[in-house]
Chains A and B, each alone.
Chain A
Amino acid sequence: MLKHPVETINIKANLIDIGVANHWLIALFEQYHVPSNKAIALDHCLDEVLMNILMHGGPEVKDSRISLSFCSKDLVNSTEVNLTITDSGIPFNPLKFTPKELPKTLDELVPGGLGVVIIQEMSDRLEYERKDGKNVLTLTVHFP
């Protein structure tokens, strides 16, 4: 069975380390020749997921460990990149999140929930499991 290289990093749940994770991911895009449209999409998704953990992961999540792993797989006619984010925040499955309908006026608009919409729109595939008390979310993009 073909083994695919996996790159990993552990960060803390805080704003500084979210910046560290972003730089780590951008370097991997160059190393693995991820096209810019898919790189932008995955970069966006990572920012949304990490900010979501920080803001909504619960009182214990601040400065807790978040593990990231990146894997690029050459398939028959395409390449697949998986980015897995593991955190110990409160359980949250973005696949079960139903975006609220946008109101017709600005006055009625209550901010919130857009991050999950962006994740759903920008990734080609989302997988979630709750494992050993942690959220394990894998974002996938494909390209030729």
Chain B
Amino acid sequence: MAINFNDADSIRYVVIDGRLDGPESDAIGIKFSVLSNFEGGRMVVDISKVTFLASLGIRLLVVNAKNLKAHGGRMVLFVGDNEAVASNLETTGISALIPMFTSLSEANQASLA
């Protein structure tokens, strides 16, 4: 499990890869919260390389998307061709609340909207 970020063109890209199960969600929770805590921030969270997305991982996305929104920002998700993760977010209904994209350029546009 790894979490990395870079800032470019007014967007913060957070890339998470590997297994986002209960223990790993717990392990990256603080770092992800810090990365999501900036005023008016626009953020694309790249979960296209996540191999396993547990409810605690989804919870992490939800809590930080809400926090970012409360600070005038916006989080969107980039899933690429990761059908398992996309399906998981659709089954739980989260993709209707946090915008999810298979195209990075569309994710970028949506984060700036």
By a beta-carbon cutoff of 8 Å, the part of chain A in contact with chain B is 15-16, 18-19, 22, 40, 43-44, 47-48, 50-51, 54, 102-103, 105-107, 109, 111-112, 114-115, 117-118, 121
Decide if B92 touches A109 in the complex (CB within 8 Å): no
With A15-B26, A114-B92, A118-B92: A106-B66 Cβ-Cβ less than 8 Å: yes
Task: Classify the interface of chain A: helix, strand, loop or mixed.
Answer: helix
Query: CB within 8 A of B97: which of A22, A102, A115, A117?
Result: A102
Closest 5 CB pairs of A and B: A51-B22, A115-B55, A114-B55, A102-B93, A15-B23
Q: Is B56 an interface residue (CB 8 A)?
A: yes
By a beta-carbon cutoff of 8 Å, the part of chain B in contact with chain A is 21-23, 26, 52, 54-56, 58-59, 62-63, 65-66, 69, 84, 88, 91-94, 96-98
Decide if B84 touches A40 in the complex (CB within 8 Å): yes
How far apart sit A105 and B98, CA to CA, in the bound complex (Å)? 9
Task: Classify the interface of chain B: helix, strand, loop or mixed.
Answer: helix
Question: What A residues does B26 contact at CB under 8 A?
Answer: 15
Question: What B residues does A40 contact at CB under 8 A?
Answer: 52, 84
Question: What A residues does B55 contact at CB under 8 A?
Answer: 48, 51, 114-115, 117-118
Decide if A19 touches B92 in the complex (CB within 8 Å): no
How far apart sit A19 and B63, CA to CA, in the bound complex (Å)? 24
Closest to B21 in A: A47
Decide if A47 touches B63 in the complex (CB within 8 Å): no
Given contacts A15-B26, A47-B21, A48-B55, 16 further A-B contacts (CB under 8 A): A15-B22, A18-B23, A40-B52, A44-B54, A50-B22, A51-B22, A106-B66, A106-B97, A107-B69, A111-B63, A114-B58, A114-B92, A115-B56, A117-B55, A117-B92, A118-B54
Question: What B residues does A117 contact at CB under 8 A?
Answer: 55, 91-92
